[in-house]
Amino acid sequence: MKGGLLVAGTTSDAGKSVVTAGICRWLVRQGVNVAPFKAQNMSLNSFVTREGAEIGRAQAMQAQACRIEPTALMNPVLLKPGGDQSSQVVLLGRPVGEMSARGYHGGRQQRLLGTVLDSLAELRDSYDAVICEGAGSPAEINLRRTDIVNMGIARGARLPVLVVGDIDRGGVFASFFGTVALLSREDQELVAGFLVNKFRGDVSLLEPGLDMLHGLTGRRTYGVLPFRHGLGIDEEDGLRVSLRGAVRESEVSAPFGEDVLRVAVCAVPLMSNFTDVDALAAEPGVVVRFVDRPEELADADLVVVPGTRGTVRALAWLRERGLAKALVRRAAEGRPILGVCGGFQLLGEHIEDDVESRAGHVDGLGLLPVRVRFAREKTLTRPTGEALGERVEGYEIHHGVAEVLAGEPFLDGCRVGQTWGTHWHGSLESDAFRRAFLREVAAAAGRRFVPAPGTSFAALREEQLDRLGDLIEQHADTDALWRLIESGAPRGLPFISPGAPA
């Protein structure tokens, strides 16, 4: 096999990331050397590759679905929002500056098309197949002229396009038809067909609609994937715990000990890498929820202040909502708090920021003896170390440089009493360390909680990826999908009026 595919969607969150990962895992189980690709990703959940490049976490998980190491080629353009109208542009794993949405779509984006196509071509030279993920909808006609992630990349690389629709939202037939009908003739020639996602019920009741859709568009449906709880891989944005689905709806396994452990995560603005708490949610008997009111900290055994793309803004938000006072009171009472990355920084004594917020000197919460200065160069590393007597692996993504003045060393940060701070994302995925940390939290909280001895976060993630591969294998027409990846879109697909300008 030598081929490729673009997985597009009728909307954001239609299931493109999940379907891409599922196709990747199905292919690798067939012996295909496959890689994922997303030309442009907008997300605050990112990952650091072994060569020190920053890419979207979804692409890192898709690489895991392919059983390969992620690289910058798999996500050449990453946009990290810093507000409603501006983002940091990360190109081939390195930040190259801040840009407004108007400035980016006004010309910069189109100039990146060459870099994107070169990255994809390099992957296609190295792998039997490359499964590409689109962004949003390919029918965003106001953005088509500068598009480099949907039909722009499909046209540039002559990729067949599979459009995914979330039927659980309703209106999937109109979305499928409208997506095709709003594309130009040249774009429509590459749209091979559809994939229905999150279907509940009897598929036979859906089949007449699929037949009519085929009659209207001349395009077949390549499968109907049933609704399954907890199948989202690392989310791009939104309050989700990827192993459990929506946190407030998560099913918590029975505790191994006598008590459950309650974890409250402060839902700070521009929250980044909230996937850090996935490993906690995977533990039997650990209940994870996101909170935005001080009262919600009262019954928490552990409060996590997560990473953020706006440390100073998050600090102001905590103060405005009364959460800052609740955290100070909690620390004085010796109740556990964990700050990660930006959350660690704001727990310190003061912040000097002339880079991210340009606010200059700002007083922190003063819970840790740490002073933070923001550097223009971003730290992107994959550190390893030891804490609580156990080996720990993590990754760092931050501009803030912490000067630790006192306290007990904890990874690259420190600990004072039951207040802990570190820049390391992903540390809780180290199973032995996570269990040791939770034992400390349970003792401080007076809970008879015991971590389950056999929980392997890596194994749970592999199990999840296999479930995604099973969905494709069992509910998609894999023979037709194979032909599509290998041979491209069928010739002679009809044009659907009205279309869009070429």
C-alpha–C-alpha distance, residues 196 and 245, integer Å: 19
Angle between helices 57-65 and 16-29 (to 10 degrees): 20
Are 445 and 302 a contacting pair, CB within 8 Å? yes
Q: With CA atoms as reference, report the closest residue to 282 among 394, 393, 429, 437.
A: 429
Query: Are 58 and 247 spatial neighbours (Cβ–Cβ below 8 Å)?
Result: no
Measured distance CA(364)–CA(346) in Å, rounded:
5
8 A C-beta contact, residue 41 and residue 3: no
| Inter-residue contact 390 to 370 (CB < 8 Å) | no
For residue 47, what is the enclosing H or E element?
Answer: strand 46-48
Residue 150's closest CA among 141, 162, 164, 138? 138
Two structure tokens written together for 344? 């660690």
In DSSP terms, which residues pair with 287 in a beta bridge?
262
Catalytic residues: 341, 425
Length of the chain: 502
Exposure string (b/e) for 140-176, b if CB count within 10 Å is 16 or more? eeebbebbbbbbbbbbbbebbbbbbbbbeeeebbebb
- Name the residue with tokens 């995560």: 265
